[in-house]
């Protein structure tokens, strides 16, 4: 007897700084449902509307087993495609359908994909601070806890924003100075490396804050510190500059969290212009496209490092981990260190031990949500500040 989709809803909740969107797909089999991540926190209401007003009417009554067909038809049904709102909406359904298929089979999603390549996933965590000494101390604390990969950032993306020489009447915004950022960051990484040695793997995120010529120079300057990778050195609009970076230095490169369309990642992998592909799995449409990218990357020696910040929901982190456990192309997983509240709200949320992230036991994605608890933490209505990035003269910049 065919199991069909009987209802789809979006659960909006905010147990921490980020607004989360969880898609719940209900089925004709009593008690059988699946969860997926559709979190695009900056446009969360648009994603919720896309799921409930567009995908839900289109998918009601469809066979839950036909994951690939549902993904393909959902992508083209809106005619215009490959945008973050639609992709996140599709991802929520897609991950929920994989969760359902695993529950029906009594298997974890990583087993459905082909089985384990490893028992747990190496993760990297974030060491922030206002001074190089603070960051080095933070890294040492992580090392003592068993972490072997740490991202180091001085200040927010783009570095410290003090002592900027702004024109009179400059509007409010998240200001940063690209030149100061380059100088301060190189000094910070030099200090941290001298303090913690070479046994720890360091990562740094440029977050597309440099123009292409300065980005090439920065990648060359940081090469001596042997980073595990340099993240988002360039914006998606400037991908052709990766050829120049590759020609001039051996700094390992990671790219992809803003990607929506397959052509964005395909050319970088085929050209072996990056070392790690790190898309936001819900941004790209879910597990169905992510597993294809992982296989494609493996053929070219490119590894995965899926985007895993606090604005990926716990369900999304569980999906990331199933891909990590399965894929031979796995490199490292970004990890955001959930709160006790999140562990209570999302039973089955993966856990870290000695620097490794382990999946919880259970079929499907192995994670659930306490909807009554989630309701107690409604999303806040805010206008994002950090994405209102500006250069010292007040002109708009990419965040």
Report the run of H or E that residue 179 belongs to, with start and end: helix 178-196
C-beta separation of 29 from 67 below 8 A: no
Instruction: Compute the C-alpha angle 132/203/246, nearest 5°.
Output: 120
pLDDT of amino acid 163: 74
pLDDT of amino acid 248: 97
Question: CB atoms < 10 A from the CB of 205, how many?
Answer: 19
126, 138, 204, 207: the active-site residue: 207
Q: Is-catalytic flag, 175?
A: no
Query: What domains does the chain contain, in order, with CATH numbers?
Result: 5-107 (3.30.390.10), 112-365 (3.20.20.120)
Residue 62, CB-side half-sphere exposure with 13 Å CA sphere: 20
Alpha-carbon distance of 153 to 364, in angstroms, equals 35
pLDDT of amino acid 16: 96
pLDDT of amino acid 321: 98
C-beta separation of 21 from 6 below 8 A: no
Alpha-carbon distance of 240 to 223, in angstroms, equals 20
- The encoded tokens of residue 115 equal 């089985």
Q: Is-catalytic flag, 207?
A: yes
pLDDT of amino acid 164: 83
45, 157, 300, 358: the active-site residue: 157
Alpha-carbon distance of 351 to 372, in angstroms, equals 23
Q: What is the pLDDT along the chain (399 residues), one digit of tens a residue?
A: 899 999 999 999 999 999 999 999 999 999 999 999 999 999 999 999 999 999 999 999 999 999 999 999 999 999 999 999 999 999 999 999 999 999 999 999 999 999 999 999 999 999 999 999 999 999 999 999 999 999 999 988 888 666 788 888 889 988 889 999 999 999 999 999 999 999 999 999 999 999 999 999 999 999 999 999 999 999 999 999 999 999 999 999 999 999 998 788 999 999 999 999 999 999 999 999 999 999 999 999 999 999 999 999 999 999 999 999 999 999 999 999 999 999 999 999 999 999 999 999 999 999 999 999 999 999 999 899 999 999 989 899 989
pLDDT of amino acid 161: 65
Strands of the chain (E only): list them.
Answer: 5-13, 20-27, 33-37, 121-129, 149-154, 174-175, 201-205, 229-231, 253-255, 276-277, 303-304, 333-334, 351-353, 356-358, 389-390
């Amino acid at each position: 007897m065919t199991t069909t989709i009987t209802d789809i809803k979006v659960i909006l909740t905010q147990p921490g700084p980020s607004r989360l969107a969880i898609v719940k797909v209900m089925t004709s089999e009593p008690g059988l449902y699946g969860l997926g991540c559709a979190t695009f926190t900056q446009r969360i209401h648009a994603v919720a509307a896309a799921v409930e007003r567009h995908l839900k009417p289109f998918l009601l009554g469809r066979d839950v087993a036909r994951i690939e067909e549902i993904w393909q038809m959902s992508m083209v049904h809106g005619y215009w495609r490959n945008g973050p709102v639609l992709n996140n909406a599709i991802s929520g359904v897609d991950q929920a359908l994989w969760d359902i298929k695993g529950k029906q089979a009594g298997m974890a999603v990583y087993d459905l994909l082909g089985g384990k390549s490893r028992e747990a996933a190496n993760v990297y965590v974030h060491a922030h601070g206002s001074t190089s000494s603070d960051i080095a101390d933070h890294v040492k604390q992580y090392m003592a806890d068993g972490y072997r990969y740490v991202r180091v950032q001085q200040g927010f993306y783009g570095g410290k924003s003090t002592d900027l020489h702004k024109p009179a009447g400059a509007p409010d915004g998240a200001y940063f100075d690209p030149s100061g950022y380059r100088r301060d960051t190189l000094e910070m990484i030099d200090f941290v490396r001298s303090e913690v040695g070479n046994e720890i793997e360091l990562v740094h995120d440029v977050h597309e804050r440099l123009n292409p010529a300065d980005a090439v120079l920065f990648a060359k300057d940081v090469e001596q510190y042997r980073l595990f990778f340099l993240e988002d050195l360039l914006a998606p609009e400037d991908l052709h500059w990766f050829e120049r970076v590759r020609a001039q230095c051996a700094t390992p490169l990671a790219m992809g969290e803003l990607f929506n369309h397959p052509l964005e990642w395909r050319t970088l992998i085929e050209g072996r212009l990056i070392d790690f592909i790190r898309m936001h799995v819900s941004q790209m449409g879910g597990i169905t496209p992510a597993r294809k990218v992982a296989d494609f990357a493996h053929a070219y020696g490119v590894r995965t490092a899926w985007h895993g910040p606090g604005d990926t929901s716990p369900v999304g982190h569980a999906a990331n981990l199933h891909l990590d456990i399965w894929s031979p192309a796995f490199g490292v997983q970004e990890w955001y260190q959930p709160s006790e509240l999140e562990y209570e709200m999302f039973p089955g949320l993966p856990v870290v031990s000695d620097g490794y992230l382990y999946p919880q036991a259970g079929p499907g994605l192995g994670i659930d949500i306490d909807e009554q608890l989630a309701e107690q933490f409604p999303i806040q209505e805010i206008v994002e500040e950090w994405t209102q990035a500006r250069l010292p003269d007040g002109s708009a910049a990419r965040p």
